[in-house]
Amino acid sequence: MRDAYFDQLDAIIDDLVAMTALVRTAVGRASEALLTPDIGVAEQVISADVDIDAAREKIEDIAFELLALQQPVAGDLRMLVAALRMVDDLERMGDLSVHVAKVARLRMPEGAVPAPLADTITQMAQVAQDMVAQVAEVIADRDVEAARQLVRDDEEMDRLRKHEFEIMLSDDWEHGVEAAVDMALLGRYYERIADHAVSIARRLVYLVTGEKPHSED
């Protein structure tokens, strides 16, 4: 009985890592759909979101079963509650990838990203994807150092977003209101993906060290 319990606890970590891999694929493909641009890839991201939702449901079911039947205490209990909150973050990152894919789809067959923003958006997409990859390591290895690195990566995302706005609001901007609005929201989606990565990292740090996570916006 207790062995099955520990197996199930381990299985939740594995499932979280697997869910993070799905999210990483979603973020990567959404960015590819946007920057190539490629309508087929955009549609894939949108339709694959059900897999992320299914991964969430599976983890929730196991976690609630463990909570109800095994009455875990102390560290195990905190881990299960943290897992339930991490799936909220991960599911949201999946939803945000769908938003990115929909921005891509909106302007097909032309690209949604005006030329002056191509470099900055490409970098934002890369930082987001790297952060999600890092999240998987943070969860799998309970790696506090990797978690702290995510907070620093998030500063790079903020810097890129500021730069994005400078370009859109400069006198040289020739792409009009609609493209600027699209790109402002797109930048927000990438920023939020990064914020959720940081949120997961902070939950992990709290779990391992007892340091309280701080509010994120």
Q: For residues 109 and 176, which CB has a smaller minimum distance to its own copies in the complex?
A: 176
Q: Residue 121: is it exposed, middle or buried by C-beta count within 10 angstroms (0-12/13-18/19+)?
A: buried
Q: Is the Cα dihedral 26, 31, 36, 37 positive or negative?
A: positive
The two three-digit tokens of residue 31, written as one number: 């960015």
Q: In angstroms, give the least distance from the CB of 95 to its own copies.
A: 4
Q: For residues 62 and 140, which CB has a smaller minimum distance to its own copies in the complex?
A: 62
What is the per-residue DSSP string for 33-47? HHHTT-HHHHHHHHH
Task: State the residues that interact with its own copies by CB under 8 A.
Answer: 49, 53, 56-57, 64, 67-68, 71, 73-74, 77-78, 81, 84-85, 88, 91, 95-96, 98-99, 165, 168-169, 173, 176-178, 180-181, 184-185, 188, 212, 215-217
Instruction: Go through the chain and tell me how many residues it has.
Output: 217
Q: In angstroms, give the least distance from the CB of 130 to its own copies.
A: 23
Q: For residues 5 and 126, which CB has a smaller minimum distance to its own copies in the complex?
A: 5
Q: For residues 57 and 119, which CB has a smaller minimum distance to its own copies in the complex?
A: 57
Q: In angstroms, give the least distance from the CB of 110 to its own copies.
A: 17
In the block, which residue shows the tokens 């493209």?
179
* 3-state SS class at 174: coil
